[in-house]
Amino acid sequence: MSLTELKNGERASIVRIDGDRRYLSRITSIGLNVGCKVEMLQNVKKKPLLIYGRDTMIALNREESERIKVEVIA
Protein backbone atom coordinates (compact mmCIF):
# COMPACT_ATOMS: atom_id res chain seq x y z
CA MET A 1 0.00 0.00 0.00
CA SER A 2 1.05 3.56 -0.44
CA LEU A 3 2.27 5.76 2.40
CA THR A 4 -0.73 8.05 1.93
CA GLU A 5 -3.04 5.23 3.03
CA LEU A 6 -1.32 4.79 6.36
CA LYS A 7 -3.55 5.84 9.25
CA ASN A 8 -2.57 8.06 12.16
CA GLY A 9 -0.44 6.18 14.65
CA GLU A 10 0.27 3.22 12.33
CA ARG A 11 3.84 2.07 11.91
CA ALA A 12 5.20 0.80 8.63
CA SER A 13 8.35 -0.09 6.79
CA ILE A 14 9.18 1.41 3.40
CA VAL A 15 9.37 -1.34 0.77
CA ARG A 16 9.59 0.59 -2.48
CA ILE A 17 10.03 4.16 -3.72
CA ASP A 18 9.22 5.12 -7.29
CA GLY A 19 10.00 8.34 -9.05
CA ASP A 20 12.65 10.17 -10.95
CA ARG A 21 16.22 10.70 -9.79
CA ARG A 22 15.48 14.12 -8.37
CA TYR A 23 12.70 12.82 -6.17
CA LEU A 24 14.65 9.76 -5.07
CA SER A 25 17.64 11.79 -4.03
CA ARG A 26 15.50 14.31 -2.17
CA ILE A 27 13.52 11.73 -0.27
CA THR A 28 16.46 9.50 0.59
CA SER A 29 18.74 12.32 1.68
CA ILE A 30 16.24 13.36 4.33
CA GLY A 31 16.47 9.84 5.69
CA LEU A 32 13.68 7.89 4.01
CA ASN A 33 15.08 4.95 2.09
CA VAL A 34 13.87 1.42 1.50
CA GLY A 35 13.81 -0.45 4.78
CA CYS A 36 13.34 2.67 6.88
CA LYS A 37 10.65 2.42 9.55
CA VAL A 38 8.18 5.25 9.87
CA GLU A 39 5.18 6.18 11.94
CA MET A 40 2.27 8.22 10.62
CA LEU A 41 1.71 11.25 12.82
CA GLN A 42 -0.92 13.08 10.85
CA ASN A 43 -2.70 12.14 7.67
CA VAL A 44 -5.64 14.44 7.02
CA LYS A 45 -7.46 15.47 3.89
CA LYS A 46 -5.29 17.35 1.47
CA LYS A 47 -2.61 18.49 3.86
CA PRO A 48 0.96 17.28 3.56
CA LEU A 49 1.65 14.03 5.41
CA LEU A 50 3.43 14.24 8.70
CA ILE A 51 5.54 11.22 9.56
CA TYR A 52 8.21 10.26 12.05
CA GLY A 53 11.29 8.38 10.87
CA ARG A 54 14.95 8.23 11.86
CA ASP A 55 14.27 10.32 14.99
CA THR A 56 12.85 13.09 12.87
CA MET A 57 9.44 14.58 12.19
CA ILE A 58 9.09 15.03 8.45
CA ALA A 59 6.43 16.78 6.35
CA LEU A 60 5.89 15.25 2.91
CA ASN A 61 3.95 16.43 -0.11
CA ARG A 62 0.87 14.23 -0.47
CA GLU A 63 0.86 13.66 -4.25
CA GLU A 64 4.54 12.74 -4.31
CA SER A 65 4.11 10.37 -1.36
CA GLU A 66 1.84 8.16 -3.47
CA ARG A 67 5.12 6.85 -4.86
CA ILE A 68 6.27 5.57 -1.48
CA LYS A 69 5.04 2.03 -0.85
CA VAL A 70 4.96 0.66 2.65
CA GLU A 71 4.11 -2.45 4.60
CA VAL A 72 2.38 -2.07 7.94
CA ILE A 73 4.28 -3.40 10.93
CA ALA A 74 1.94 -5.13 13.32
Partner 1 sequence: MDNTKNIALLGQPNSGKSTVFNSLTGMHQHVGNWPGKTVEKKEGTFTHNEVTYKVADLPGSYSLSANSDEEIVTREYIAKKELDLVCLLADASQLERSMYMLADYAGIKTPVMLVLTMMDVAEAKGKKVDVRKLSEKLGIEVCSIVAYDKKSYESFFKCLEKAISSGKTLNADKLYEIVRNGEGAEAFEGYMEKASLIAGERRSPEWIAMKLLEEDEAVLRELSIKGEKNIATDPKGALYTSDARFKWIEELLSLVVTDAKKPSELLTKFDRAAIGPRSGKWVAFGIMILALAGAMIVASPIMGLGGALPSILNPLADSVLGGMGVSESIIHFIKATIITSLGWVIAMVGFIFAMNFVFGILEEVGYMARVSYVFDRSMGSIGLQGKALMPMIMGFGCTMGSTSGARVIDSYGQKIMTIAVAWAVPCGATFVVIPTLANAFFGTGGGMLVMFLILFIMVLHIIITAKVFGKKLNPVDKRTGIVMELPPYHKPRWGFIFKNSLMRMWDVFKKAFSIELVVCVIFFFLSYSKSGIEGSILYKIGTFIEPVSAFIGLKWQTFMSFVAAMVSKEAVLGVLSAIFANSGSVIDTTTGLAATSDNIAQIVAAAIPKAEALAFIIAVTFNIPCLQAVVSTYNETHSAKWTAKIGAYYIVTALVLAAVVYHIAVLFL
- Residues 51 and 49: their CA atoms lie apart, in Å, by 6
User: Quick check: 7 binds partner 1 (CB under 8 A)?
Assistant: no
- Residues 10 and 38: their CA atoms lie apart, in Å, by 9
Region 23-62 residues binding partner 1, contact defined as CB under 8 A: 23-31, 33-36, 39, 41-42, 44-48, 50, 52, 54-62
Helix and strand numbers, DSSP H then E, in the chain: 2, 5
Residues binding partner 1: number (CB under 8 A): 38
- Least distance to partner 1 from the beta carbon of 13, Å? 14
Task: Calculate ∠ Cα 45-52-37, nearest 5°.
Answer: 110
User: Quick check: 1 binds partner 1 (CB under 8 A)?
Assistant: no
Which residues are near partner 1 by CB under 8 A?
17, 20-31, 33-36, 39, 41-42, 44-48, 50, 52, 54-64
